[in-house]
């Protein structure tokens, strides 16, 4: 998705803007640009393609100036061309704007601006903003008033940053798209997320919907749209730039798969109470959910699979739970009320589909809890309750470490809900707590002993890849297939193993490996289903413990330590992450930024 970086400081802005654009690349984009305010007015450089291409084209000599804005664009209105790249300017080039989100009333605004004599050069919704500002300047408004008036005209979602020729000022506003301020000794940053400027500062202020900021080298004003001062306090983020770098790995995804022992240990830190045979969730002491009668999960993509994982654990505990794709929730959800707990699972906390479903749930009177990775994200502001997964920054577009942390957090939440709703703990709590304690080590063992690279090479170039599982193995199969297709661009599908015989078996051939996940729950049935495919020629890859019955018939084996079914699926998932990663590496795919995909999907 689009990314914004802005800088107002005492030194030339261009270097930190380009660094910011590089840091924003992980969000997914197809064009990039910068605008710098210098003695000669506003200088804009933008083009379709990668930030490196923009960087090579920059004439740094002509881009001196302490105030600037930059943008990475992920196309919504109009193709990825140089003209459609941001920043956008008005016809006089006295106003430059970068924008994330969608201006829903841009067509009518464009029409009236055209009628007033404005000429447009792009297909974007964004271009109306600099023209609106210019229109208000022409009508005699002062720059700040012109910016506010333009913002007032916009309908839809936006994070906007603007600058005007001749002024050492950035104006910014937020409504529905994230925007954060960074504060360092020499000035200020504005960005769509913290990693954009993490090399420079970890002191940040998260803006809220309706906020307008006016940033000068010596100070910043936080106001509402009407201009009234508002109180926004800086906070220090705990992510460090090294954590956000690739280290010894070729790809962020590979690094993040290997970070799982640490991210899981962080997620579990202080949350297991072995003496009390219970979990300790900050903000959720026993009794927190006694008013709740049912649970609904909402999420997209990998987070949806984590939600499905949590919902199986909750249903097994006797809690009536359903799981919904966030983008379908408003049209197909069962009724919700004040006795409904809606759990929104979202790594980024900025997924537009999930945020919209959360707002819908709140409108129904439901209590909304978000399980997220990003402190201060929009989801944390929309939700009544927040449970942080503490996975650290995830840069690869393919979610890996955040899936395992989400699932583990949902198992802990299942225990709290089970006690509050049914008066009983999870059936195998004792074994689960013991295995959770050593879970980071179990993941480490998978990472150290995996045969994923060899198998990925052996089965490269097949027609399709089918992932199957049952119970807790089913969301793992779905997630395995999503990861595989997302980064290899090969066809992959996940199925409930029992579903194969209801249709997909027609697709099975010797050229369609079946990867079967065994969790220790109903494994005999999974094995029968897998054998049905193997009998029809499909190579069978079993993901299961060393001494499992499946190893006696499987064509290949990805081993996992023997743990409770609640955790076996997650160990299997690490093997599947590695299988996908090595297959994609063998195919030389753009693993961290797969084509057409974005890390944070902020449009519906
Ligand atoms: C997963 O690999 C994908 N990048 C995608 O499915 C992602 O999980 C989905 O877009 C939801 O994102 P969120 O967790 O940030 O809400």
Q: For residue 400, how far is its CA from the centre of ligand 1 (angstroms)?
A: 10
> How do beta strands 235-236 and 514-517 pair?
unpaired
pLDDT of residue 177: 83
Q: Is 70 exposed, middle or buried, given 0-12, 13-18 or 19+ CB atoms closer than 10 A?
A: buried
Strand-pair partners of 220: 215
Q: For residue 163, how far is its CA from the centre of ligand 1 (angstroms)?
A: 33
Q: For residue 301, how far is its CA from the centre of ligand 1 (angstroms)?
A: 5
Catalytic residue among 2, 300, 462, 544: 2
How far apart CA 172 and CA 163 sit, in angstroms, is 9
Q: Give the pLDDT confidence of 15-29 residue by residue, as tens digits.
A: 999 999 998 887 667
Catalytic residue among 50, 255, 483, 599: 599
Q: Are 494 and 479 in contact (CB under 8 A)?
A: yes
| Closest by CA position to 381, among listed 341, 345, 338, 349 | 349
Q: What is the atom index within ligand 1 of the atom nearest the CA of 398?
A: 2
Q: Give the pLDDT confidence of 416-438 residue by residue, as tens digits.
A: 999 999 999 999 999 999 999 99
Ligand 1 site residues, Cβ closer than 6 angstroms = 300-303, 346-348, 351, 354, 397-399, 486, 600-601
Q: Is 285 exposed, middle or buried, given 0-12, 13-18 or 19+ CB atoms closer than 10 A?
A: exposed
Q: What is the atom index within ligand 1 of the atom nearest the CA of 600?
A: 15
Q: Is 280 exposed, middle or buried, given 0-12, 13-18 or 19+ CB atoms closer than 10 A?
A: middle
- Encode 383-420: b = buried (16+ Cβ within 10 Å), e = exposed: bebbbbbbbbbbbbbbbbbbbbbbbbbbbbbbbbbbbb
pLDDT of residue 423: 95
Q: Give the pLDDT confidence of 533-592 residue by residue, as tens digits.
A: 999 999 999 999 999 999 999 999 999 999 999 999 999 999 999 999 999 999 999 999
pTM value > 0.85: no
pLDDT at residue 396 greater than cutoff 80: yes
Give the pLDDT band of residue 242 (cuts 50, 70, 90).
low
pLDDT of residue 275: 85
Q: What percent of the chain has pLDDT over 70?
A: 98
Q: For residue 425, how far is its CA from the centre of ligand 1 (angstroms)?
A: 31
Q: What is the mean pLDDT of the chain?
A: 93
pLDDT of residue 96: 97
- Encode 44-55: b = buried (16+ Cβ within 10 Å), e = exposed: bbbbbebbeebe
Name, in order, each residue with C-beta under 8 angstroms of 329's C-beta and a sequence gap of 6 or more: 298, 357, 360, 361
Query: Which of 304, 307, 347 has most ligand 1 atoms within 8 Å of CB, for mutation?
Result: 347
Annotated active-site residue 544? The verdict is no
Residue of minimum CA distance from atom 9 in ligand 1 = 301
**Average of pLDDT values for 128-152?**
97
Query: Which of 1, 301, 306, 494 has most ligand 1 atoms within 8 Å of CB, for mutation?
Result: 301
Strand ordering across the sheet containing 514-517: 492-496, 465-469, 514-517, 540-544, 556-559
pLDDT of residue 220: 96
Q: What is the atom index within ligand 1 of the atom nearest the CA of 599?
A: 4
pLDDT at residue 216 greater than cutoff 90: yes
**Range of 377-391, 458-472, 586-600 with top mean pLDDT:** 458-472
Number of CB atoms found within 10 A of residue 318's CB: 15
Q: For residue 346, how far is its CA from the centre of ligand 1 (angstroms)?
A: 7
pLDDT of residue 243: 60
pLDDT at residue 334 greater than cutoff 90: no
Q: For residue 35, how far is its CA from the centre of ligand 1 (angstroms)?
A: 31
Q: What is the atom index within ligand 1 of the atom nearest the CA of 482?
A: 2
Q: Give the pLDDT confidence of 41-56 residue by residue, as tens digits.
A: 899 999 999 999 999 9
pLDDT of residue 313: 97
């Amino acid at each position: 998705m689009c990314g914004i970086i802005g800088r107002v400081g005492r030194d030339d802005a261009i270097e930190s803007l380009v660094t910011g654009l590089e840091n924003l690349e992980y969000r997914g984009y197809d064009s990039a640009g910068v605008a710098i305010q210098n003695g000669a007015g506003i200088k804009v450089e933008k083009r379709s393609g990668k930030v490196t291409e923009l960087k090579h084209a920059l004439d740094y000599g002509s881009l001196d100036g302490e105030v600037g804005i930059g943008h990475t664009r992920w196309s919504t209105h109009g193709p990825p061309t140089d003209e459609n790249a941001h920043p956008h300017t008005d016809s006089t080039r006295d106003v430059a704007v970068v924008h994330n989100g969608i201006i829903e009333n841009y067509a009518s605004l464009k029409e009236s601006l055209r009628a007033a004599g404005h000429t447009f050069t792009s297909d974007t919704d964004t271009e109306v903003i600099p023209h609106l500002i210019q229109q208000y300047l022409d009508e005699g408004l002062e720059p700040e008033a012109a910016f506010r008036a333009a913002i007032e005209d916009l309908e839809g979602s936006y994070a906007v940053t603007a600058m005007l020729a001749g002024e050492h000022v950035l104006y910014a506003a937020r409504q529905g798209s994230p925007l954060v301020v960074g504060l360092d000794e020499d000035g200020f940053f504005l960005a769509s997320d913290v990693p954009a400027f993490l090399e420079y500062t970890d002191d940040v202020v998260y803006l809220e919907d309706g906020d307008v900021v006016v940033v000068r080298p010596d100070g910043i004003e936080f106001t509402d749209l009407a201009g009234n001062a508002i109180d926004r306090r800086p906070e220090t983020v705990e992510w460090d730039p090294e954590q956000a770098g690739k280290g010894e790995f070729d790809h962020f995804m590979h690094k993040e798969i290997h970070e799982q022992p640490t991210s899981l240990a962080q997620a579990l830190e202080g949350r297991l109470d072995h003496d009390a045979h219970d979990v300790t969730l900050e903000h959720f002491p026993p009794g927190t959910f006694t008013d709740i009668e049912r649970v609904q999960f909402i999420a997209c993509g990998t987070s949806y699979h984590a939600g499905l994982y949590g919902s199986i654990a909750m249903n097994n505990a006797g809690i009536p739970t359903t799981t919904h794709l966030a983008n379908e929730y408003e049209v197909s959800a069962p009724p919700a009320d004040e006795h409904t707990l809606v759990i929104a699972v979202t790594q980024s906390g900025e997924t537009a589909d999930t945020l919209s479903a959360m707002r819908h749930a709140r409108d129904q009177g439901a209590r909304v809890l978000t399980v997220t990775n990003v402190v201060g994200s929009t989801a944390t502001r929309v939700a009544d309750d927040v449970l942080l997964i503490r996975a650290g920054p995830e840069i690869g577009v393919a979610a890996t470490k955040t899936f395992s942390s989400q699932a583990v957090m949902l198992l802990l939440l299942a225990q709290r809900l089970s006690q509050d709703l049914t008066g009983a703990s999870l059936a195998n709590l004792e074994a689960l707590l013991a295995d959770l304690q050593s879970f980071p080590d179990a993941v480490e063992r998978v990472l150290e002993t995996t045969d994923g690279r060899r198998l990925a090479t052996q089965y490269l170039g097949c027609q399709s890849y089918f992932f199957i599982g049952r119970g807790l193995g089913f969301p793992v199969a779905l997630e395995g297939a999503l990861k595989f297709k997302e980064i290899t661009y090969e066809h992959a599908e996940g199925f409930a193993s029992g579903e194969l015989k209801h249709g997909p078996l027609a697709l099975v051939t010797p050229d369609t490996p079946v990867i079967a996940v065994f969790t220790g729950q109903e494994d005999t049935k999974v094995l029968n289903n897998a054998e049905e495919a193997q009998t029809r020629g499909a190579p069978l890859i079993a993901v299961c413990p060393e001494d499992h019955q499946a190893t006696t018939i499987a064509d290949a084996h990805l081993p996992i330590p023997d743990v409770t079914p609640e955790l076996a699926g997650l160990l299997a998932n690490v093997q599947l992450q590695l299988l996908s990663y090595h297959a994609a590496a063998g195919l030389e795919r753009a693993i961290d930024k797969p084509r057409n995909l974005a890390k944070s999907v902020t449009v519906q």
